[in-house]
Amino acid sequence: MEINNRQVSNFLFITRWHMYVGDFDVMLLIHLVEHPDRDTFPGLRNGIHTYFLAAADLIDYTDAVTRQHLASADRSKGINNRPFSVHQQTSLTQTYIPLAVRLIAMLLRPCPPGWTFSIPEEIQSKLDKMVEDNYTLAATHAFFFTLWSYPYKPAIRNRIPDVTIQFLALAGIRKSGSWKEAFELTPTFARILYLIRLTMLYEIHTRGSNFAHSREVLAPHFTEKQNDCTFNSVSYIQHYCSTVAYATRGPPKLMYLDDINFEVMLYNGHRITLVMFKAFMALLSTDLIDIFEKKICLGHLTDFVLPDHDFVDNLNNRELGYSFLDEQENKLPSERFFQLHHIA
């Protein structure tokens, strides 16, 4: 069937994901990439979480230069001054690692009739070994390293050979059957790239103490435009998504219902009035005073009244230890000033 490209979004025109999915039942495909419960694949969730948290722990035991190289996706722009760093554990476990769990669950689930995944034999063998060994660190790392360093090559009957891109294509479908917008997918791409870097960091550590040599050998697998690998493919799509997101005008989020006094508006479908806004500001002011008296002053100086006029607080001053109490223009009473400064 011939497709009119002018009726296809710019994002799908580049990825061709709509052609990969075709007219297949999207609800069956969405089920393939759902996050599994604990009883579906015993050991899967715990094993994958353990592996990536162990990889994240290695960041603190990695020299700064190696971490800078890991954070430098585009070598043509030089080495990044900001090194690869660890995220909060809650962020890793709640938003990053679940993507890897869903990817493996996709490969372990039986495909619906008429649908197949293109999985190279080498990756399939690593997957089987990982499950057989109950997701040990060694087996799990072997799988992810092979998955994200494999030289995928597109073919006539296999336009999307990369297993990770196959997963992202299905993860980009809404339950309604429509495709997610480009801006909705960019965080997912960024998280996959972070997990790839963690895997490459783990591999660097498994190759011995010569990090300089290992990072150069592995660089094509965590940089752009160096090799036709998963990192480059995901990064390329991410860049294009960002371009589309910035260039696309969204529908209006704010609309005034009162075009005379402009005191009533619709914001994201919610009716908001000026009276409601004033009440919110009053509540915010009360909360700020409560925080200042109880959490900053620790219950002391409750009889102290800060000047509400000509009050100076330099928000541009980023010096370590700066406080509004340092501003001479505030002219606080000397005794109270000393007590406040001591508490602060």
Span 133-153, pLDDT tens digits = 999 999 999 999 999 999 998
| CA nearest neighbour of 185 among 11, 3, 51, 1 | 11
pLDDT of 158 over the 90 cut = no
Q: What is the pLDDT of residue 199?
A: 98
Cβ proximity of 213 and 261 under 8 Å: no
Q: What is the pLDDT of residue 309?
A: 59
Average pLDDT over residues 157-177: 91
The lowest-confidence range among 54-63, 65-74, 87-96 is 87-96
Higher pLDDT, 159 or 308: 159
Residue 271 tokens read as 């009716």
Higher pLDDT, 20 or 144: 144
Q: How many CA atoms lie within 13 A of 190 on its CB side?
A: 12
Q: What is the pLDDT of residue 52?
A: 96
pLDDT of 127 over the 80 cut = yes
Q: What is the pLDDT of residue 2?
A: 47
pLDDT of 168 over the 90 cut = yes
Cβ proximity of 145 and 199 under 8 Å: yes
How far, in Å, CA of 241 to CA of 261, rounded?
40
**Single pTM value for the model:** 0.75
Mapped onto helix, strand or coil, the DSSP state of residue 338 is helix
In tens, the pLDDT along 253-310 reads: 778 888 888 899 988 788 999 999 999 999 999 998 888 778 877 776 656 565 555 6
Instruction: Quickly state the pLDDT bin for 5 (edges 50, 70, 90).
Output: very low
Pairing of strands 270-273, 264-267: antiparallel
List phi, psi (to 5°) of 254: -130, 135
Average pLDDT over residues 26-48: 93
| CA nearest neighbour of 58 among 81, 84, 80 | 84
Q: What is the pLDDT of residue 20?
A: 86
pLDDT of 1 over the 50 cut = no
How far, in Å, CA of 124 to CA of 108, rounded?
10
Q: What is the pLDDT of residue 342?
A: 58
Q: What is the pLDDT of residue 14?
A: 80
Q: Where are the beta strands (DSSP E) in the chain?
A: 254-256, 264-267, 270-273
How far, in Å, CA of 102 to CA of 238, rounded?
20
Helices and strands, number each (H, E), in the chain? 15, 3
Cβ proximity of 271 and 257 under 8 Å: yes
Cβ proximity of 241 and 183 under 8 Å: yes
| Strands lying side by side in the sheet with 254-256 | 254-256, 264-267, 270-273
Higher pLDDT, 173 or 295: 173
